[in-house]
Amino acid sequence: MSDDAVMPTARAARTTATAPTTSTARTPADGGRDRADGGRDPDVVVVGGGMAGLVTAYELTRRGRRVHLLEAAADVGGLVAGAELGGTVVDLGAEAFALRRPAVAALAAELGLAVQQPAAGSWLWAAGYATPVPARSLLGIPADPGAPDVVRALGPAGAARAARDADLGPDVGADAADLATLVAARMGPAVLDRLVAPVAGGIHSADPAALAVDAVAPGLRRALRDRGSLAAAVAALLDAAPPGAPVATVVGGCTACRRPWPPRCAEPAAGSAPARR
């Protein structure tokens, strides 16, 4: 990674209002005023040290800007967080990223982070118990409501209600703007509560009722109209997807994404006030 990157360390984030920049950051000739202490004011101040703030600061320094990043929390990363449980560091926030767009994998490679695809399926916690995410599913929506892993997650009654999707015709739910309305109309509340809410909510950190279908599952409503059922639409999208896992993660967990920004940092200024958002 470039020495021009900006990285507030955990200690610096706790103790300084202006997170440290690397000593080699370039300053445009027309920006960055000299200070009385011999330093220079930043060209840009980024408020918030979540992943968006870190990437923004990094990209700005690559373009020659001197950046200060402000973070009120004790650590950077925002929703990308981790903790040690039983002697193992686990992700508490995002644990993977989608591969359908190359940007995240490319950034990880640029930062020297190794990436791997999961060797096994995911599990979820819903209705008081843990169960595997159905192997053939999209955001928790099953491609086959009668599959054993779907019946295990929903129970016989929930799976039977989901199977009624095949008899509803293509119009039911076709105009639903949000994911919750579509799934509930087509497959019933068990699929929504036990599969879609934990899976889609975990991915997007939002209630399915707040997720636009066309944004989180592009092509799903069109496939519903073309195929006649939601299960068949999901199956069509899965069959059209590239082979391999749809997601990947950073070796050591996504919480490792908080550590490589950058290898060298200046010390925080003496007497700096604590950061506040």
Per-residue pLDDT band at 91 (split at 50, 70, 90): confident
The torsion region of residue 87 among left (phi > 0), alpha (psi -120 to 50) and beta comes to left
Closest-CA residue to 158 (of 147, 168, 173) = 147
12/262 Cα distance (integer angstroms)? 13
User: How many helices and strands (H and E) does the chain possess?
Assistant: 10, 11
Q: How confident is the model over 163-172, as a mean pLDDT?
A: 96
Parent domain of 220: 123-244
Do residues 133 and 195 lie in contact, with contact meaning Cβ atoms separated by under 8 Å? yes
Helix axes of 179-187 and 220-227: crossing angle, nearest 10 degrees? 20
pLDDT for 68-78, tens place per residue?
888 888 888 88
Percent of the chain with pLDDT over 90: 38
Between CA 161 and CA 154 the distance in angstroms is 10
Shared-domain flag, residues 220 and 128: yes
The closest alpha carbon to 138, from 212, 211, 235, 223, belongs to 235
Q: Do residue 132 and residue 236 come from a single domain?
A: yes
| pTM for this prediction | 0.66
- Is there a single domain that holds both residue 37 and residue 127? no
196 and 275 together in one domain: no
pLDDT at 82: 82
Whether residues 71 and 111 fall in one domain: no
pLDDT band per the 50, 70, 90 thresholds, residue 50: confident
Check whether residue 208 and residue 188 sit in a common domain: yes
Do residues 55 and 134 share a domain? no
Confirm if 213 and 178 have CB atoms less than 8 A apart.
yes
As for how many domains the chain has, the answer is 3
Q: Are residues 40 and 27 part of one domain?
A: yes
Same domain, 19 and 105: no
Judgement on whether residues 101 and 127 belong to the same structural domain of the protein: no
How deeply is 23 buried, as exposed, middle or buried, from its count of CB atoms within 10 A (0-12, 13-18, 19+)? Answer: exposed
Q: What is the pLDDT of residues 27-41, one digit of tens each?
A: 344 455 555 555 678
Do both 31 and 70 map to the same domain? yes
